[in-house]
Amino acid sequence: MVQVRVVRLPDDADGVAGLDASFLTERELDVQPDQLGFRVASRELPAPRGKAYRVVAAPGGLVAVDKDEVIGYAEISYAAWNRRAALEHIYVASRHRGTGTGTALLAEAVRQARATGARCLWLETQNVNEPAIGFYLSRGFRICGLDTTFYDPAESPGEVAIFLAMDLEDVVP
Question: Where residue 144 sits, what CATH number does that domain have?
Answer: 3.40.630.30
147, containing H or E segment:
strand 142-147
CB of 73 closer than 8 Å to CB of 63: yes
Within a domain: residue 80?
yes
Within a domain: residue 172?
no
Within a domain: residue 155?
yes
**Residue 22: pLDDT over 90:** yes
Peptide bond into 33 cis (omega under 30): no
Within a domain: residue 40?
yes
Within a domain: residue 124?
yes
Confidence label for 169 from pLDDT (cuts 50, 70 and 90): confident
Work out the widest C-alpha separation in the chain, in whole angstroms. Answer: 54
Q: Determine the structural domain holding residue 94 and report its residue range.
A: 3-167
> Within 13 Å and on the Cβ side, how many CA atoms surround 53?
20
How many domains does the structure of the chain reveal?
A: 1
**Residue 95: pLDDT over 60:** yes
Within a domain: residue 37?
yes
How far apart CA 69 and CA 154 sit, in angstroms, is 36
Within a domain: residue 28?
yes
Q: What is the pTM of this model?
A: 0.93
pLDDT of residue 172: 47
Within a domain: residue 173?
no
pLDDT in tens, 153-166: 999 999 999 999 99
